[in-house]
Amino acid sequence: MIQFSINKTVFLQALTITKRAISSKNAIPILSTVKIEVSAEGITLTGSNGQISIENFISIQDENAGLLISSPGSILLEASFFINVVSSLPDIVLEVREIEQQQVVLTSGKSEITLKGKEAEHYPRLQEVSTAKPLTLKTSVLKETINETAFAASTQESRPILTGVHFVLTENHSLKTVATDSHRMSQRKLILDKAGDNFNVVIPSRSLREFVTVFTDDIETVEVFFSNNQMLFRSEHISFYTRLLEGTYPDTDRLIPTEFNTTAIFDTAKLRQAMERARLLSNATQNGTVKLEIVEGQVSAHVYSPEVGRVNEELDTLEVTGEDLVISFNPTYLIDALKAANSEQIKISFISPVRPFTLVPNSNELDFIQLITPVRTN
Amino acid sequence: MIQFSINKTVFLQALTITKRAISSKNAIPILSTVKIEVSAEGITLTGSNGQISIENFISIQDENAGLLISSPGSILLEASFFINVVSSLPDIVLEVREIEQQQVVLTSGKSEITLKGKEAEHYPRLQEVSTAKPLTLKTSVLKETINETAFAASTQESRPILTGVHFVLTENHSLKTVATDSHRMSQRKLILDKAGDNFNVVIPSRSLREFVTVFTDDIETVEVFFSNNQMLFRSEHISFYTRLLEGTYPDTDRLIPTEFNTTAIFDTAKLRQAMERARLLSNATQNGTVKLEIVEGQVSAHVYSPEVGRVNEELDTLEVTGEDLVISFNPTYLIDALKAANSEQIKISFISPVRPFTLVPNSNELDFIQLITPVRTN
C-alpha cells in the first residue's frame, strides 16, 4: 500500500512529461491511466499510447523532489484527471497514501482528495529493449536533426513507411537522416563523435516530435538502443520507447541531382516572408502554386487568382547564375524548407521547370540538402 | 478611385478593432467584408455582424498614422483576407491604390498585391442613433461594471431577455446594472459623476464583452447615446453600435434577501481555489454540486462521486456567525462570482438550504451584490 510525500511542482513536472505518451481518448481504456510504481529507491511513472511509452523516474536522491517513501506499491490512476487534481492542490507538499480497494488519498494543506484507481497488474507490459552497447548522442544534435527532417515525412497513411524518418548509421560514425512525402525531401548527414553499431531504422515522425518535446535542453546526452521493432532513448530519468516502422525505406540517394542549370542565393527570412504573402493568394487558386521567374538575373514571384487577385513580388538575391527559368511549386513546401534551414542564406539550384530543385544552406552545402518537386502548369 | 499611403502598424490596429464586429461566417455574405471609406479628412473602416457595428476613424491629423490621401473613394474588401495580406507586407509604409473594377493594388517594399473588392453601395446602412445629449462615462468604470455583471447573463436563447444586462439610470445619477440567468444574479450600483437623461435598457451581454475588448484602457471616457432599439458607445475614433434587446426585464430587486441566519467571511482567492478543486470531482457527480457544511463555526466543503472519489476540504474563514447549515450548490457559480468580486475578502450570507445566498465584498456591502441559488439534494 503506497505511501509517500513529495514536492508538488517536481511531481507535476514528471507527470506532465509522462502524460505526453498518454492519450485520453485511447481505444484501450487502461492506456488513459498513468502507472505509479513506488519502490525503496523512488517512483516510476509510466504512460503509453501503444506507439510511444515514457517511463519517468523520480529518485529519493533528488533533493528538489523532497521524496519521502514510507511504503512501496503500485497503482493506475486516470492520467488527465490526476494531473488536474495534483495541480490544484493548495500546499507545496503533497502526501499520497493508498487505502483499501485501489483508492489513494491525496493530502495537501487542509485539502483531502480521495481518488479511485485500478490494479497495476492490469497494465500492459512495455516491450523490452536490450540496453547493452548504447549509442550516446548529444541531445541538441539529435533534436536539430529531427527538426531538419521530420517535417518532410508524410502525414498520410497510404504509404506508411513514408510517415517515418529514415535513420542510417554506416561505418560506425556516419549518420544519415532522411524524410520524404514524395513531394519534398529533407536529408541531413553528420559524423558522430562516438562510434556505435551500424543500424538502419525508420522511426515514426510523430514519435520524434514527441521526443523533441520530452527531452528538454538541460538533458545533455541520450543513450539510444534498438531491438527488432522498437527503440529506446534514455536519459538519467527518462526512458522513451517508440515502435519502429516495418518495411524498406525507398532509395532516396538516387533522387538527389548533382548538376544544375540555374542557381540563386537568397536571404532566408526575406524569401520566406515573400512566400508567405504568395501563399495567401495561392491558397485561392486552382493548383495552389506560386510561379518563380528568373530572367536575366532578376528573380520574381507571381500568383494569379481570378477570384481573389494577384501577387507580384520582386525577390532580393545575393547571387544568380545560369539560365533563365520559369518554375511553379507549392509555396508551403518552400516555406517549410526555409523554416528548417537554420542558416541566414539559402542556395537554391534548378535543372528545369519539371525537375526537382534543391536547397542547401549557403554556408555548408554538403551536410543538409532539401528537395522540392515542382508542379507542371500550362 | 481610392489612393492613399499609411503606416502599416496603425492601419492594421484599426482593421483589427473593426474586425471584432465582423464574422467571416455571416449568413449575409457582404457582412464578411470591411468597408473602407476615404475622404479628405481620413479613413473610416466599418464592420458589422448585424448585431454590433464598429466604425473606426483614422484621421490625417494622426501623426502616427502618417496618412497621405491622394484621392477619396470607397470599397468593400473581404475582412479576414485583407488583414492577413496587410499584416504580411514587408515595409512599414503601405500604399493603397484603386484601379478599375473595384480592384485595389497594395504596394509595400518590392511587393505588389492586387485584391478584388466589391462596390461600397452594396453595404447595408447602419441604423442611425441621434448624437444629441451624450451621457459621458469613464471607460474604466463602465468596463468594471460589465466585468462584474455580464458573466451572470444567460447564454441560452429560451428567455432572450436574460441574455442581456439590464442598465437603468434613475434620478439622472444612479446607475443600476443587473444580469441573471435565473440560477445566479449579479447587481452593481453606482453614482455617476455627471448627470444624464434617465434610461432603462437591456444590452446583449455578448455586445458588452466585445465593448470591453474594443475600448482599450487608453480611452479615458466614452459617450453613450440611445435610440429606440440601438445604442452607441463613442470615443474619439471609435463608434460602437449595438442592438438592444426588446422586452421587459424581470424585477430583480424583490429577489434580494435582507435578513440572514448564517454569515461567513472568506479569503476570496483561497475559497476560489478550494471550489476549483471541488469542481474537478463535482463534474463527475450526478447533480454536479458541492456540499458546504457550517458546524459550530467551522466551514468545510465536500464532494462524493461513487465513480471517481471524494473531496473533503476544511475552509479558512475570517469570521462565522449564526446558525449551523448544510447547503449544496454548483461550484462553478461560486467560482464565477468570486472571479467577479474584485475584493480580497468576501462575505457570504445564508438564510436556509433552499433559499438563495448572497455574496458581497467584505469592504463595501452596498454597491455590489451577487445571488446564487442552491440545489436541493437528499
Domains of chain A in sequence order:
3-122 (3.10.150.10), 135-253 (3.10.150.10), 256-372 (3.10.150.10)
pLDDT tens track for A219-253: 999 999 998 899 999 999 999 999 999 999 999 99
Q: Is A171 left (phi over 0), alpha (psi -120 to 50) or beta?
A: left
Decide: residue B353, CB within 10 A, 0-12 exposed, 13-18 middle, 19+ buried.
middle
Q: Which three cell numbers stand for residue A309?
A: 487577385
Task: Report pLDDT for B375.
Answer: 95
In angstroms, rounded to a whole number, what is the distance separating the alpha carbons of residues A93 and B40?
Answer: 67
Task: Identify whether the C-beta of residue B152 lies closer than 8 Å to the C-beta of residue B185.
Answer: yes
CB contact under 8 A, A103 and B270: no
**How much of chain A exceeds pLDDT 70, in percent?**
99
Chain A residue numbers with beta carbons less than 8 Å from the beta carbon of B89 are 277
The whole-chain average pLDDT of chain B stands at 94
Strand, coil or helix: B244: coil
Q: Which of B116, B270, B307 sits opposite A308 (nearest CB)?
A: B116
Task: Report pLDDT for A364.
Answer: 66
CB contact under 8 A, A88 and B280: yes
- Give the mean model confidence (pLDDT) for residues B319-328: 97
Q: Which residues of A have a CB under 8 Å from any CB of B?
A: 78, 81, 84-85, 88-90, 103, 110-116, 270, 273-274, 276-277, 280-281, 307-316
Task: Identify whether the C-beta of residue B314 lies closer than 8 Å to the C-beta of residue A90.
Answer: no
pLDDT tens track for B283-303: 888 889 999 999 999 999 999
pLDDT tens track for A56-111: 999 999 999 999 999 999 999 999 999 999 999 999 999 999 998 789 999 999 99
Residue B241 β-bridge partners: B53, B232
pLDDT greater than 80 at residue B234: yes
CB contact under 8 A, B312 and A112: yes
Task: Report pLDDT for B182.
Answer: 95
Q: Which of A273, A274, A310 sits opposite B114 (nearest CB)?
A: A310
Cα distance from N-terminal residue to C-terminal residue, chain A: 73
Q: How many CB pairs under 8 A join A and B?
A: 88
pLDDT greater than 80 at residue A126: no
In angstroms, rounded to a whole number, what is the distance separating the alpha carbons of residues A333 and A357?
Answer: 12
Distance from CA of B321 to the nearest CA of A (A): 22
Maximum pairwise Cα distance, chain B? 82
Please, which pLDDT band fits residue B364 given cuts at 50, 70 and 90?
A: low
Q: Which of B85, B112, B270 sits opposite A280 (nearest CB)?
A: B85
pLDDT greater than 90 at residue B316: yes
**ipTM value for the complex:** 0.86
Task: Identify whether the C-beta of residue B281 lies closer than 8 Å to the C-beta of residue B308.
Answer: yes
pLDDT tens track for A271-295: 999 999 999 999 888 889 999 999 9
Chain A residue numbers with beta carbons less than 8 Å from the beta carbon of B314 are 110-111
Q: Which residues of B have a CB under 8 Å from any CB of A?
A: 78, 81, 84-85, 88-90, 103, 110-116, 270, 273-274, 276-277, 280-281, 307-316
CB contact under 8 A, B277 and A113: yes
Got the DSSP string for B62-101? -TTTT-EEEE-EEEEEEHHHHHHHHHH-SSSEEEEEEETT
Task: Report pLDDT for A365.
Answer: 61
Q: Which of A276, A309, A315 sits opposite B116 (nearest CB)?
A: A309
CB contact under 8 A, A277 and B85: yes
Question: Closest-CA residue in chain B for A87?
Answer: B277
Q: Which residues contact A206 (CB under 8 A, 6 or more apart)?
A: A51, A52, A163
